[in-house]
Amino acid sequence: MSTRLAAGVLLCGLLLTGCAGTPQTRQLLQSQPDGLPVVHEIVQTPFFPQSRHQCGPAALATVLSSHGINVTPDELIAQVYTPGLTGSMAEEVTATARRYGMLAYPLSPVLDDVLAE
Per-residue pLDDT tens digits of the chain, which is 117 residues long: 688 777 777 776 666 776 666 777 777 777 777 777 878 788 888 888 888 888 899 999 999 999 999 999 999 999 998 888 888 888 999 999 999 999 988 888 887 788 777
Question: 113's torsion region: left (phi>0), alpha (psi -120 to 50) or beta?
Answer: alpha
Q: What DSSP string runs through 42-93?
A: --S-------TT-HHHHHHHHHHHHTT----HHHHHHHHEEGGGTEE-HHHH
The alpha carbon of residue 110 and the mean position of all alpha carbons in its chain are separated, in whole angstroms, by: 14
- Rounded to whole angstroms, how far apart are CA atoms 106 and 90? 10
The contacts of residue 53 (CB under 8 Å, 6+ apart) are 81, 86, 87
Report the pLDDT value the prediction gives residue 13, as an integer from 0 to 100.
Answer: 67
Report the pLDDT value the prediction gives residue 68, as an integer from 0 to 100.
Answer: 92
Report the pLDDT value the prediction gives residue 14, as an integer from 0 to 100.
Answer: 66
- Rounded to whole angstroms, how far apart are CA atoms 23 and 81? 37
